[in-house]
Chain A
């Protein structure tokens, strides 16, 4: 049940300690880059990547399976689909306010706030969420995709029932 990942993970005190020290800084830097993308190099894409890589680093140091249990599936689904929805809703909201798709001037016209905030909302709520979520998803999909869904099964064959969230959690 749990031996499918034991072959690749070795507990290393050095890596675990290093990641424990580095992870807060990379997370902060990723968030800074995301939130400060308008006035400094970087932005939602780069910042979201670094935030996602922080989770990948933790998974490498503390084992992929414990990290997968810690990160719930609904959280990642929320990140990825939520990002697309937020991006689209911001764009459509500008149409509702009387402009064109993603025309941030309408924020100034209607609410008298800077158009900048629309741009930042797209960077933070749209791009950063999608990118960080997809990178974490890719990592866990790769980590699990090459091992059979259940130890006795054949890799690609979908067996007696559909692999639900809970079953995957149990098996790989």
Chain B
């Protein structure tokens, strides 16, 4: 991982902490949008452009807009101080948990891109999709092929879930029109 990616990780951590600490909700939303944008760029470093585009469009774009709209419609208390008061016992407990996770889980994780991972114990499975996608479906983007062809029925379920979520929102807000 090069220097730019490491800088990006530091930026993401900083914006994540700032999201938790800022007292003014508008600042929180703006910083949270920056966090999502940082995550989107990080996903491109991890060679997942499809996920990066989703994160940029949904995480940084739509979520920020919807949250902005929400605070525009609700009362926004004027902030007399910049950050939330830090509750020391909570910091100690959460900090201990994070240290525990870092010391136990992180050393067990595989480095990005190495071939000793369990996934590669059966390379014929992953290689099948990488090698056969074009022959099977005729599209070059294996992610799209898996999404719409190999597991098309799951995607149909997901699409219906999105549809149902939209309908449910209208029901909760007691509206009967879409626009």
Contact = CB atoms under 8 A, between A and B. Distances in A.
A43 B146 CA distance: 12
A140 B169 contact: no
Contacts of A158: 174
Contacts of B73: 8, 142-143, 146-147
B173 interface: yes
B176 A116 contact: no
A93 interface: no
B177 A134 contact: no
Contacts of A137: 166, 169-170, 178-179
B147 interface: yes
A143 B136 CA distance: 45
A53 B166 contact: no
Interface in B155-179: 155-156, 159-160, 162-163, 165-166, 169-170, 173-179
B50 A46 contact: yes
A83 B163 contact: yes
A163 B175 contact: yes
Main secondary structure of the interface of A (DSSP, over half): helix
Interface in B97-129: none
Interface in A140-161: 140-147, 156, 158
Contacts, number: 176
B137 A142 contact: no
Interface string A71-92: 1110111001101100110010
- Most central of B50, B139, B147 by chain A CB within 10 Å: B139
B83 interface: no
- Categorize the interface residue count of chain A: 35 or more
Contacts of B159: 83-84, 87, 126-127, 130
A24 to B, nearest CB: 17
A156 B172 CA distance: 10
A49 interface: yes
A23 B153 CA distance: 34
Contacts of B20: none
Interface string A86-112: 011001000000000110100000000
Interface in A30-52: 33, 37-46, 49-50, 52
Given A84-B163, A119-B148, A146-B73, A136 B179 contact: yes
B65 A38 contact: no
19 contacts: A38-B141, A41-B52, A53-B65, A83-B159, A102-B153, A115-B138, A116-B138, A116-B139, A119-B148, A127-B155, A130-B163, A131-B162, A137-B179, A144-B173, A163-B176, A163-B177, A164-B176, A164-B177, A168-B176
